[in-house]
């Protein structure tokens, strides 16, 4: 069993859960920082997976982990949408002199 490769998937899952908890708390700075950490883990995973392919049992486990990551991601996106819309409105007002007070 290639536990080392699976540990990358598990680390990404853990980071996605931390991101979700931060998003639920409205801590968007932490969400952004964790997103950066996930990007590093994903890059490392891509490199490691080229050299260490998974067997059938590991592929099944990887699939379950990925499903949980996708569920977390979907909820984070739902929580982020109002924040992103507010940020867009603020940015639009900041660049539109007619909307400045």
Map residue 8 onto helix, strand or coil.
Answer: helix
CA distance linking residue 10 with residue 100, whole number of Å: 47
Output the pLDDT for position 88. 76
* pTM of structure: 0.77
Residue 94 pLDDT greater than 70, yes or no: no
Residue 10 pLDDT greater than 80, yes or no: yes
Question: What is the CATH number for 9?
Answer: 1.20.58.380
Place of tokens 């007070």: 101
Question: By residue range, what is the domain housing residue 70?
Answer: 3-99
Output the pLDDT for position 91. 84
Tokens linked to 45:
């995973």
CA 81 and chain centroid, separation: 14
Per-residue pLDDT reduced to its tens digit, 21-74: 999 999 999 999 999 999 999 999 998 888 888 888 899 999 999 999 999 999
Number of structural domains in the chain: 1
């Amino acid at each position: 069993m290639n536990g080392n490769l699976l540990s990358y998937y598990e680390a990404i899952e853990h980071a996605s859960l931390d991101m979700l908890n931060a998003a639920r708390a409205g801590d968007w700075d932490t969400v952004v920082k964790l997103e950066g950490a996930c990007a590093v883990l994903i890059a490392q995973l891509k490199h490691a997976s080229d050299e260490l392919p998974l067997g059938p049992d590991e592929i099944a486990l990887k699939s379950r982990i990925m499903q949980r990551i996708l569920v977390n991601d979907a909820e984070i996106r739902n929580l982020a949408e109002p924040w992103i819309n507010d940020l867009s409105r603020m940015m639009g007002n900041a660049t539109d002199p007619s909307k400045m007070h």
